[in-house]
Amino acid sequence: MTTINPADLKPHEFYRLLNSAVAPRPIAFVSTVSADGHVNLAPYSFFNVFGFNPPILVFSPSRNRHGHKKHTLLNVEEVPEVVINMVSHAMVEQTSLASAEFDRHVSEFTKAGFTEAPSERVRPPRVAESPVSFECVVRQLLPVGPDNDADGPGAGTLVICEVVLAHVQDGFLSAAGAVDPHRMDLIGRLGGDWYVRAQGDALFEVSRPQMGIGIDQLPAAVRNSAILTGNDLGKLGSVLSLPTPDEVNEYRLSGTLTELFNEARTGCQYLPDLLHLRARQLLAQNNVREAWLTLLSA
């Protein structure tokens, strides 16, 4: 384990660690407008949702290497309104292009080839190509630079936004009011030039936990298994109670494990290892109950 004190590094050196370790990060593609009507569009991966009553989104435009404010921050100081547009994989190269340091009054909509869509409650336009856009009013600007002085290169300012209207592309919403992740095809930011795509095998579900028995209550042979992973133990510890001895005995007599028992009798394999391997396969299929029946059949 390497231990690093941020005070021992220059800010841009520790930035490389933060940027690559705190990942993947969602991307806020932020459109703003200056007091004289010039539109800016820029992506920020220092971004997330921070509350839902009221709905709050927060992003942070850091000062550039010269200590200058980003155009986004200059604009929200003049017009405290933004649109936060989500970025799909189909938009990633154009979004990257929009991050270039164009002059303040050059429109990234034009340079990156995006379409301005009029907003309803705020002045900045939406990105028509974005799967979801949030019209927001800026509630607070919070400098978080050294000693609360946001003057240095890399110093950030939290832009705290309240969502006043959301726009979702047709066909993206589920019946429950959530966005279909397969349709969204969002991207996330990693360190350096790396991104991640939320699609295909990258998508998986984890059931919400119950007040289960916990890993500490697993039998020692299971808890200390060299075969079962931490994720496997997490699933096993989520059950409310273990199968009863009668249930385990009925499962053993069902013949499901006969092949494993026979293999162990020949001396080719150690029975607990065989049972743990089978349990791991069952857990991969989220069949937690049968995994427990298998493990307790030893």
Q: Is 33 helix (H, G, I), strand (E, B) or coil?
A: strand
Q: Are residues 145 and 14 in the same domain?
A: yes
Residues 153 and 258 in one domain: no
Distance CA 268, CA 113 (A): 65
Same domain as 219, residue 151: no
186 with 242, same domain: the answer is: no
In this prediction, residue 241 carries a pLDDT of 93
15 in any annotated domain: yes
Of 181, 202, 223, the position where a domain reaches its end is: 202
DSSP state of 286: T
- pLDDT value of residue 121: 98
**Among 167, 202, 237, where does a domain finish?**
202
What residue has token string 């069902």?
254
User: What pTM value is reported for the model?
Assistant: 0.86
For residue 208, is it within any domain? Answer: no
- In this structure, of 133-147, 201-215, 256-270, the range with the lowest mean pLDDT score is 256-270
Q: How many CB atoms lie within 10 A of CB 4?
A: 10
Number of domains in the chain: 2
Confidence band (pLDDT; 50, 70, 90) for 154? confident
Q: Is 169 among the domain residues? A: yes
Euclidean distance between CA atoms 41 and 155, whole angstroms: 20
Residue pLDDT, tens place only, 90-140: 999 999 999 998 998 899 999 999 999 999 999 999 999 999 999 999 999
Phi (first) and psi of residue 256, to 5 degrees: -60, -35
Q: Specify whether the CB–CB gap between 34 and 74 falls below 8 A.
A: yes
Whether 282 is covered by a domain: the verdict is yes
Residue 143: asked if its preceding bond is cis (omega within 30°), the reply is: no
DSSP annotation of 112 reads H
Structural domain of residue 268, as residue ranges?
Answer: 215-295
Whether residues 37 and 110 fall in one domain? yes
Greatest mean pLDDT among 178-182, 207-211, 234-238: 234-238
Average pLDDT, the chain: 92
Beta strands 126-127; 55-59: pairing state: unpaired
Range 7-15 average pLDDT:
89
The answer on 92 and 53 residing in a single domain is yes
Asked whether residue 88 is assigned to any structural domain, the reply reads yes
Please state the rounded mean pLDDT for residues 160-174.
Answer: 94
Query: Do 33 and 81 share a domain, yes or no?
Result: yes
Are 192 and 261 in the same domain? no
- Mean pLDDT is lowest, of 11-15, 121-125, 282-286, for 11-15
Residue 91 burial (10 A CB sphere; 0-12, 13-18, 19+): buried
- Position 155 in a domain: yes
Is residue 141 over pLDDT 90? Answer: yes
Cα 171–Cα 47–Cα 12 angle in degrees, nearest 5: 140
Choose the final residue of a domain: 144, 177, 202: 202
192: burial class by Cβ within 10 Å (0-12, 13-18, 19+)?
exposed
pLDDT tens-digit readout, 31-81: 999 999 999 999 999 999 999 999 999 999 988 877 788 999 999 999 999
What proportion of the chain, given as a percentage, has pLDDT over 90?
A: 74
How much is the pLDDT for 66? 74
